[in-house]
Structure 1
Amino acid sequence: MKRIPFSRCATQRLASSTPRRPSCIHNVAPHNHRIQWQARLQTTVATPNDGIAEMMAEVEEVPAPESTSKFPSRSPSRKPLPLEHLPSPHPRAAAQSIKLAALRSRLSLPERFPLQSLARTLVHPSADADPAFNNASLSILGANLLGYYTTEYLLCNYPRLPMDVVFAAHDAYIGPKALALIAREWGIETAAAPGGEVDPGLLQFKRLRPGSDLPAALQRQLPWKWEKTTTHKIVNTDEFGSNVKPASAHALQGTPVPVEEAAQSFVRALIGSLQLHLGTPLVKRFFRDHFLSRQLDLSSLFDFRVPTRDLSRLCAREGFEPPVARLISETGRLSRHPVFVVGIYSGKDKLGEGAGSSLQEAKIRAAAAALKAWYLYKPLEVTVPSSTENELHPKNWKPNMVDCGEVIV
C-alpha cells in the first residue's frame, strides 16, 4: 500500500504552483501620493532597497478600477491595483525583504526554503481573506503535525501519564500561549495594520482594540464539569481537552484578533510550509530543537486530591502489598518548626518519601511522591511511530509499553 504524501493533503500548492498575484509593483503610486497612509507607513513600510527603489522609479500612478469581485485585482484580465489597495504584500516583494531573509537565517532554515512561502505564513486570514495568499491552509496542516508529534512523544515516553496531565502537557508544549511565546522569542515583529505596502517580514493581521471583547470564534472553554468524564474528553475533545472547535479561517475573515491568535497561526503555518517544502526529517528536527527542547517539569502538573487513597487503590490493582507509612526521621518535635520525614513502604520496597511540618503532611507528600514515581515512569528504549517513516534512515519498529490506565476514583 502506498503512503499518501503530505503535499496532497494541503489545499494550496506552493512554490512553482502558487497562484500569482497580478503584477502591481510596476504600477505603484509615487511616495508623495500616499500621504493618507503616512501613519501606517511610519511603522510598517517595507525597508527601502535598490531592487524596490528601481521598480518604484519606473512606475506611474494607476487609479483603482471599479470591481465587484470578492478579491479585487486577482484576475489577470483586470487592471492591477497599486500596492496600497492590496490587502497583503505582493509575493514578488518577498525576495527584496531583509526581514524575511533575517528570519530564515535566525531559524537556521536552508536557502532552498523560498521566502515567498515564509512571507505567506505571516499573513493572517483577518488581513487577507483570499485563501491563496493567507496562511489558513498551512496553519491547519501545521496544527495537525504539531499535535501528532507531541502526542507520540508523550504517550511513548511516559505511557502511564493520566489524561488530565497529557492535556496539560499538550497545552504547555503547543498551546496558544506557548506558540505565541515561541513566535516572540523568534523575533517576530507585528505590523500596525495590514496592506500591500507593508514589509512582507512583518506579521500582518487586523488588531483587536484594547478593551474590546474577544470574538466568539476564539472563545474556548475547558470541560471541567462534573458530568464530563475522562472518556468523554478523550473521544469528544481536541488535544487540549477543549470541546470547542478551533475557529475557521472563514469566521476570522475581516475580524480583528489579538496578537496571540496571529502569532500562533504563524507558527503552525510555518510547520506546515516546512513539511511541504523540506519534508518530514527536517520538520521533526525543527520540532525537536524548538519545541521539545523547552524545559517542562511534568511533576508540577499533577494535582492529587487524596493521594493516600489513590495509592492504596493502585497497590490493590497491581497486586502489591498495602502501603504503610513509617517515620524515617524527625527534628524539633516540641519546637515551633518541627520537620518530619515519612516514607511509604509496600513490604520491603520504598515507594516514596516526603517531609512536612506534621506527620499527616509528611504522609500525604510521601504518597504523592510515590504516585508521581509511578506515573512518570519512562522506558529505556522508545520508538515513536513517525521514526519508521523516515525514507533515509528508517528504524525498525519496537513495540512500546501500553499501560492499563490511571487509577479511577
Structure 2
Amino acid sequence: MRRVSRSTWDSLTVPRRCVCGNPIRLNDLLSSSFSTSSSSSSSSSSSQSASLASPTRPSSIPTIRPLSKPRAIRPFSTTSSLAVVPKLLPTQSAKLAALHGRLGLPNKYPLTTLGRALIDPTAEPGHHLNNDGLSNVGNVLLGYYTSEYLMVHYPRLPYEILKAAMDGYIGGKALAAVGKEWGVEAAFAPGETVDPGLLQFNRVAPGTPLYKIQGGVGFNIPRKRNRMVPNFENNPSVDAALLAESPEMREARESQRPGQDATTLDLAMSNFVRATVAGVYLHSGGLPFTKQFVHAHILSRKLDIDKLFQFEQPTRELSRLCVREGFQQPIARLEKETGRYSRHPVFIVGVYSGEEKLGEGQGSSLPEAKIKAAISALKGWYLYSPVSGADLPSKTDGNPTMPFAPAVIDVGDIVS
C-alpha cells in the first residue's frame, strides 16, 4: 500500500463551505459517523480510540478524535422516510452550476437555494427542505409585476381578459414551458442519490384523474354561459349542486378529493420557476433586480392578447360603448366588394361613428363583415395603449424620489 504524504493529507482537510456557511473538514465527516453509532458501539469505539491514542501509536498517522458534543445536523439531513435530500452537495453538482450560469444569476445567489428550489413538496414534506415557501413568495412577486405591466400598458382590458392574459404569462403551463426552456431536467423518482441539479417530485400514476392531483382542479360545476362557477364550498350554486347529488355520486366525489402526494411535471416545474424568482428577491438585492429578472425571462415572451377576446354580441356592445362615451351611434358602411354573384364573394365593411372610422372587417357576406368590423372596433378600444408609455409603479422601488408619470385608469368594462 502506498503511503499518503503529509502534503496530500493536509490538502484533504482544506475546509469546504456547506449550506449553512460552516466549513466541512474530513475529520468532522469521519467523526460524525462515529457519533451516529449506538451506545454500545460508542463505548467500544471510545476504548479503541483510547488505545489508538496510546504512545505506542506511530506519530506519522493522524488521530481521529470524536467530538466532545454531538455535531449539529447536516444542512441537507432529513428525518423523513423519503430521504430525497441528495448526498452530493449542491456545490459539487455540474448541472446546478450550469443552470446557475444559464439564468445569469449573480454570485450572491447560492447554489444551495437553487438546489432547494428543485425539491417539490410532494417529494419532501419538510417545509425547511422543499420549495413550498419559496414558490409562494415567487407567486406573489410574479403576480405583482405581471399585473402592473398589463394594467399600465393596456388600461382598458376587461377583467376576464386581464386574468386570461396573466394566466398566459404566469400560469402553470406558461411557467412550465419557461422551466423547460431553461434546460431543467426531471428525475425519474426522488431519492438521495439524485443529482441536486434535477427536479425531484412524485409522479402521478397513469390514469389518475386531475382532481386527485395536488395543485390540480377540484370538484367543478359545469359551465354556465361560458363561465366557470368558482370552486368554493360556501358558494350557493355549489351548495345547491352538492345537495342534488345522489349518494353514489357523493361517495365517489369525496373519495377523489385532491391532496394526494403526487403531481405532474408541469405543476412541479412551475413551482420551481416561482421558487427561483423568490430566490432572486431574497439574495440579489430585493425588488429592482427581481423586476429585471421577471421582465427578462417572463414578460419578454410574446402573448397575442387580441386572440383572447370572444364576443357574444359585438354590435350591441359597440353600441353601448358609444352611448357611454358620448359618441354618435355606429353605422356600418359597405366600402368595397367583389364577386357578389360568384361562389366566393368578399365584402369589406367599415363601422363609423360620425366621420370617424372605428373598425373594418371583411367576410363572405354582409352580416359577417359587419360583425367582424364591430369586433375590430371593440378590440381597438380595449387594446388601447398609451403612446408615450406610462411609468410602472415599481419604478420607485429602488429610489422613491424618482419622477413618476401616473398611468391611465379606465372607467371599467362595457356592460352589454
* Fold match (TM-score > 0.5): yes
- Structure 1 pair 357/227, CA: closer, same or farther in 2 (3 Å)? closer
Question: 1:307-350: per-residue Cα shift (whole Å, max 9, x none)?
Answer: 10000010011000000000100001011000000000000000
Alignment of 1:219-298 (within 5 A): 219-220=216-217, 226=224, 255-278=261-284, 279-298=286-305
**Deviation of the 1:112 alpha carbon:** 2.3
| Aligned mate of 1:172, from 165, 168, 176 | 168
**Deviation of the 1:195 alpha carbon:** 1.6
Residue number in structure 1 paired with 2:345: 338
**2:398 corresponds to 1:390:** yes
Residue number in structure 1 paired with 2:96: 100
Residue number in structure 1 paired with 2:196: 200
The secondary structure found in structure 2 opposite 1:292 is: coil
Alignment of 1:297-308 (within 5 A): 297-308=304-315
- Structure 1 pair 293/187, CA: closer, same or farther in 2 (3 Å)? same
The secondary structure found in structure 2 opposite 1:255 is: coil
Alignment of 1:2-401 (within 5 A): 86-90=83-87, 93-214=89-210, 215=212, 217-220=214-217, 226=224, 255-278=261-284, 279-380=286-387, 381-391=389-399, 395-401=402-408
The secondary structure found in structure 1 opposite 2:85 is: coil
Distance in 1 (CA, whole Å) between partners of 2:164 and 2:313 is 20
CA contact (8 A) 1:24 1:83 kept: no
CA contact (8 A) 1:190 1:204 kept: yes
Q: Which amino acid aligns with 1:265?
A: N
Distance in 2 (CA, whole Å) between partners of 1:402 and 1:81 is 51
Distance in 2 (CA, whole Å) between partners of 1:263 and 1:333 is 54
Q: Which amino acid aligns with 1:257?
A: T
- Structure 1 pair 284/339, CA: closer, same or farther in 2 (3 Å)? same
- Structure 1 pair 369/228, CA: closer, same or farther in 2 (3 Å)? closer
CA contact (8 A) 2:315 2:371 kept: yes
- Structure 1 pair 131/25, CA: closer, same or farther in 2 (3 Å)? farther
- Structure 1 pair 359/61, CA: closer, same or farther in 2 (3 Å)? farther
Name the stretch that deviates more: 110-119 or 357-366: 110-119
Distance in 2 (CA, whole Å) between partners of 1:81 and 1:139 is 20
The secondary structure found in structure 1 opposite 2:146 is: helix
CA contact (8 A) 2:19 2:112 kept: no
Distance in 2 (CA, whole Å) between partners of 1:193 and 1:213 is 20
Question: May I ask how many residue pairs the two structures share in their alignment?
Answer: 339
- Structure 1 pair 219/118, CA: closer, same or farther in 2 (3 Å)? closer
Question: 1:338-392: per-residue Cα shift (whole Å, max 9, x none)?
Answer: 000000000000000000000110000000000000000001221111111124x
**Deviation of the 1:24 alpha carbon:** 12
| Greater C-alpha radius of gyration | 2
Residue number in structure 1 paired with 2:57: none
Question: 1:28-69: per-residue Cα shift (whole Å, max 9, x none)?
Answer: xxxxxxxxxxxxxxxxxxxxxxxxxxx89x997998989xxx
Distance in 2 (CA, whole Å) between partners of 1:100 and 1:25 is 24
- Structure 1 pair 228/362, CA: closer, same or farther in 2 (3 Å)? closer
**Deviation of the 1:200 alpha carbon:** 0.4
- Structure 1 pair 81/292, CA: closer, same or farther in 2 (3 Å)? closer
**Deviation of the 1:26 alpha carbon:** 8.8
- Structure 1 pair 25/157, CA: closer, same or farther in 2 (3 Å)? farther
TM-score between both structures, scaled by the size of structure 1: 0.74
TM-score between both structures, scaled by the size of structure 2: 0.73
Query: What are structure 1's unaligned runs of at least 5 residues?
Result: 1-15, 28-54, 67-74, 238-250
- Structure 1 pair 185/394, CA: closer, same or farther in 2 (3 Å)? farther
Distance in 2 (CA, whole Å) between partners of 1:266 and 1:134 is 10
The secondary structure found in structure 1 opposite 2:122 is: coil
Question: 1:231-278: per-residue Cα shift (whole Å, max 9, x none)?
Answer: x99xx99xxxxxxxxxxxxx86x7011111110110000011110000
Q: Which amino acid aligns with 1:315?
A: C
The secondary structure found in structure 2 opposite 1:315 is: helix
- Structure 1 pair 86/313, CA: closer, same or farther in 2 (3 Å)? same
CA contact (8 A) 1:120 1:134 kept: yes
CA RMSD after TM alignment? 3.8
Residue number in structure 1 paired with 2:255: none
The secondary structure found in structure 2 opposite 1:195 is: coil
Q: Which amino acid aligns with 2:354?
A: G
Q: Which amino acid aligns with 2:338?
A: T
CA contact (8 A) 2:82 2:124 kept: no
**Deviation of the 1:183 alpha carbon:** 0.7
CA contact (8 A) 1:25 1:82 kept: no
